[in-house]
Amino acid sequence: MVAVERLPAARAARVTVGAIEIERKFLVPEAPGDLDRHRSTAIEQGYLATDDDGTEVRIRRRDGSATLTVKSAGGRTRVEEELEIDVERFARLWPLTAGRRLEKTRYEIPAGDGLTIELDVYGGSLAGLLVAEVEFDSEDAADAFSGPDWLGREVTDDSRYRNQRLAHEGAPS
């Protein structure tokens, strides 16, 4: 017989179901000079399972909270399911991500029109890599976006810059 953990209602996980993520990514050659004036948070992220097509199951710790996320394969538009998990569960799962982890500091930079550029400054073995992401409410909004020059080359469809691949293989050469 398998034991099933029952969580009290107050501890039940919050779940985002069936969310569609529309995102563009950019390789940033140099961070903007005013980076320190923007909100930032440290992120630890590890992959429990990945597939060559881009499907992934990851855990993340940020700002004292933790999540388990499942993302579908795809490029700019993907299905994303996110579940909040307690930090104890994160700690139990973390060893399962050995060899498939990354650390980064995420800066949130307002981009106008209600958009935010999330600039990830990687640490550890990925130190020096800067990648920016912008999420959109629609494909039309993604198509219309024209960001600041410092964003650099778009890498949305370049699988070498997916976080799961960076965690597995390191920075592209």
Residues with a known catalytic role: 47
| C-alpha torsion 4→7→9→10, nearest 10 | -170
Cα distance between residue 42 and residue 115, in whole Å: 21
For 29, which DSSP code? S
Triad 117, 44, 116: Cα angle to 5°: 10
Cα distance between residue 37 and residue 173, in whole Å: 31
What are 126's two structure tokens? 């990925």
Q: Are 37 and 104 in contact (CB under 8 A)?
A: no
Other Cβ atoms within 10 Å of 166 Cβ, number:
23
